[in-house]
Amino acid sequence: MIFFKISGFFFFYFVVTGVYVIFMPKILLLLGYSAPQIGAIFALAPLMRFFVPFFFLKHFELTQKVFYTALGGALFSIVMFYPTIHHFYLFMLPNMLLGACLGMILPYVETYAMEHLQKERFGRSRLFGSIGFMLIGIILARHLEDYTNGLHYLLLGISLTAFFAYWLTKNNTHFANTDAKKEEPFHFFHLKYLWLSLFLLQVSFGAFYNFFTIYETAHGISLETTSYLWAFGVICEIILFYFQAPLLQRFSLLALVKLGVFLTALRWFLLFAFPSSLFISYAAQSLHAFSFALHHTAALSLLYTFYAHKKLAAQFYYGFSFGLGGFVGALIAGYFYGEYLYLYASFIALLSLVSLVLFKEKE
């Protein structure tokens, strides 16, 4: 039953992510937003994800009460999308609130999932998030005649996410306990090259998460076909999530993180070099299995080996990588959107790989 609850949470959490990442940029473009404005909007949620963990270093603790407040805040923020979406500056506010709340929700559940299921079984639960992401990409591509449909799916998705999160955590004794002694310090600088690599990789993903749909449709690929590209990448991700346990047992976590970063750099270069090739686009999307699924599990597991504060480590993982990295990546992608966008992204991913090499030398 616990496996079902965790998997249900992942499924609907990433339904919300799928609508937000795949379709919201296109919706905003249709509503008259410029590329820099889209980049700015999608930089706000990651920026809030970056700031939130710092409040939990000394001032707050990620308790059940805080978690439930975050669930309510996420639900309220999406409700506020409806009256604010036509106003650029007003629309910033619910996006900031959503980012702050999501920065607390996912680490809280994912840390428990990793500890309860162990890294070998974690992928088999986490793949339900990938299934949710893929299905919403296929379904909503056929029902986006009106932008409000996208908002309806967002609202339904966050409501069901909150339901499964509450069902999982209510009366669960695990969530009444802290994951480390408060007096034990949380350090960054002895792992600075690892943190830098995680940050840079997500900077490179700014071109993908915020402009992949726009980029592909601008090169003659239909919106429906682009949704299939998203879905194919997620299918590859699901397969690797399911079968990654032997890799995690046989190879070092650091080696697997390096592999994920290298293949990400290759992935972006393929999109730059062959922008109109549907075959190459599918080939590039197949690498999502390594650049996200394998990299994510290996990186999170690697951080857990260094830190006793596992929920806080997860918060900072999302804060520095998907948060600060996503913020900078969205701004850079909005500014450099054009012919060379994915060349810049490939170069940034290579810098992430260099940082990992330095981390091994200093380790």
How far, in Å, CA of 312 to CA of 227, rounded?
34
Nearest alpha carbon to residue 260 among 321, 330, 331, 343: 321
* pLDDT score at 118: 75
The two most distant CA atoms of the chain are separated, in Å, by 57
pLDDT for position 144: 73
Q: Which of 91, 100, 73 is nearest to 27 (CA)?
A: 91
Helix residue ranges, H only, the chain? 2-18, 24-30, 35-58, 64-79, 81-84, 88-141, 147-169, 192-218, 223-243, 245-250, 253-273, 278-286, 288, 295-306, 310-317, 326-336, 341-362
- Report whether 133 contacts 17 (CB < 8 A): yes
Domains (range + CATH), the chain: 2-362 (1.20.1250.20)
- Distance from C-alpha of 30 to C-alpha of 48, rounded to nearest angstrom: 26
Q: What is the mean pLDDT of each run of 10 residues along the chain (363 residues)?
A: 91 93 86 86 84 78 87 96 95 94 88 79 86 85 79 94 92 65 65 94 91 89 87 89 87 94 97 94 95 91 87 87 87 86 96 91 54
The answer to whether the pTM exceeds 0.95 is: no
Q: Are 65 and 55 in contact (CB under 8 A)?
A: no
pLDDT of residue 59: 67
pLDDT at 162: 95
Q: Which two tokens stand for residue 355?
A: 């940082």
Give the integer Cα–Cα distance in Å for 72 and 299: 29
Nearest CA to 198 out of 306, 67, 92, 63 is that of 306
pLDDT score of 289: 93
